[in-house]
């Protein structure tokens, strides 16, 4: 059996975070066999936090929250009013994560999700560092961890590779800031699937597993075998969360941000059950080969 907690992204099951959608998502996550649910906080205003926490606890599920920012609330901006709006979003999202019972807040915490028209400026990067230093201090008071998700060039200009993320984490300088690798983004930006894992080593704190087209695991061309062997080689025991998107399940905001135009699957529960079996089998095979 896998020692890593296995998770699934809520957008496999529902596009929003209304009470009914959250309740159904929790039930489907449990039914598929996962240990934790990852919820995006892009529509956080809809979440009935006490009800969601009660349902998560009743199901015995862990919770991880994630988000990116928006161009009018972007901590990598040089406009201090825009930076302040981004900082406020991060602070409120951290509090929501804590109130839901989560200890891990991750994602593109450093920029908007979208294609930038120019490289990151030095002043913008300094703003990212300053904001995340403050957020890390706040998180530490709740014994919480921040994850820096490494995203591709079409979704951010702040960090696109594991090496970029390590440099940013070094500049933030907080022990509770970890690196979050995602195979979908790695396929675009990294040379292979092994060296980034080895480079990050024990600073890896969260993993997204997604195919190159974000559909069924094993139906694309990604080298999951080398990736999972690398995870084993660094003794990674943190969460591994399946992330997949299809136009069959539409978030009012996030689907557009991530350019989810194609219908890659229709049945979220079937997709999730397949992903759970795939992850367990992959982890078991790697373990048996060692």
In the CATH scheme, what is the code of domain 6-288? 3.20.20.150
Q: For residue 167, what are its two tokens?
A: 């440099």
Contact between 148 and 104 (Cβ < 8 Å): no
- The DSSP code for 240 is E
Q: Residue 14: its pLDDT value, please?
A: 87
Spatial distance between the Cα atoms of 273 and 34, rounded to a whole number of angstroms: 9
Contact between 185 and 212 (Cβ < 8 Å): no
Measuring CA to CA, which residue among 69, 170, 156, 70 is closest to residue 120? 156
Successive 10-residue mean pLDDT values, the chain, 290 residues: 86 89 96 97 91 98 97 98 98 98 98 96 98 98 98 97 98 98 97 98 98 90 97 98 75 61 72 96 94
Exactly one of 28, 38, 155, 243 is catalytic; which is it? 243
Give the domain ranges of the chain: 6-288
Q: Residue 34: its pLDDT value, please?
A: 98
Contact between 158 and 76 (Cβ < 8 Å): yes
Spatial distance between the Cα atoms of 236 and 189, rounded to a whole number of angstroms: 22
Q: Is 190 a catalytic residue?
A: no
Contacts of 234 (CB under 8 A, 6+ apart): 197, 198, 200, 201, 202, 204
**Torsion of Cα atoms, 109 then 112 then 115 then 119, to 10°:** -70
Contacts of 285 (CB under 8 A, 6+ apart): none
Q: Residue 267: its pLDDT value, please?
A: 79
Q: Residue 1: its pLDDT value, please?
A: 44
Spatial distance between the Cα atoms of 112 and 73, rounded to a whole number of angstroms: 7
Q: Is 149 a catalytic residue?
A: yes
H helices within the chain, ranges in order? 19-32, 49-59, 80-99, 122-141, 162-172, 183-189, 195-200, 224-233, 254-257, 268-288
Contacts of 167 (CB under 8 A, 6+ apart): none
Q: Is 241 helix (H, G, I), strand (E, B) or coil?
A: strand
Exactly one of 38, 149, 190, 211 is catalytic; which is it? 149
Locate tokens 């990294």: which residue? 190
Q: Residue 262: its pLDDT value, please?
A: 61
Phi/psi at 11 (nearest 5 deg)?
A: -70, -5
Q: For residue 190, what are its two tokens?
A: 């990294």
């Amino acid at each position: 059996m896998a020692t890593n907690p296995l998770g699934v992204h809520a957008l496999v099951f529902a596009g929003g975070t209304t009470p009914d959608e959250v309740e159904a998502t929790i039930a489907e996550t449990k039914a598929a066999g996962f240990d934790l649910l990852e919820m995006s906080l892009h529509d956080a205003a809809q979440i009935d936090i006490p009800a969601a926490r009660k349902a998560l606890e009743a199901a015995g599920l862990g919770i991880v929250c994630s988000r990116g920012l928006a161009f009018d609330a972007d901590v990598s901006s040089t406009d201090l009013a825009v930076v302040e709006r981004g900082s406020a979003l991060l602070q409120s999202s951290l509090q929501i994560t804590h109130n839901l019972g989560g200890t891990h807040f991750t994602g593109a915490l450093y920029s908007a999700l979208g294609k930038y028209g120019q490289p990151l400026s030095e002043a913008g990067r300094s703003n990212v560092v300053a904001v995340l230093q403050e957020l890390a201090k706040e998180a530490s008071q709740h014994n919480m961890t921040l994850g820096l998700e490494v995203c591709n060039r079409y979704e951010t200009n702040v960090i696109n590779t594991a090496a970029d993320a390590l440099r940013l984490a070094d500049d933030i300088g907080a022990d509770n800031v970890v690196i979050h690798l995602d195979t979908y983004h790695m396929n675009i930006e990294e040379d292979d699937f092994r060296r980034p894992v080895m480079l990050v080593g024990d600073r890896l704190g969260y993993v997204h597993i997604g195919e190159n087209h974000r559909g069924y695991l094993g139906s694309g061309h990604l080298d999951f075998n080398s990736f999972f062997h690398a995870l084993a080689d660094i003794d990674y025991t943190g969460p591994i969360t399946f992330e997949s998107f299809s136009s069959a399940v539409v978030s009012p905001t996030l689907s557009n941000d991530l350019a989810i135009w194609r219908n890659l699957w229709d049945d979220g529960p079937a997709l999730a059950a397949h992903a759970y079996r795939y992850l367990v089998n992959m982890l078991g095979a790697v373990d048996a080969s060692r």
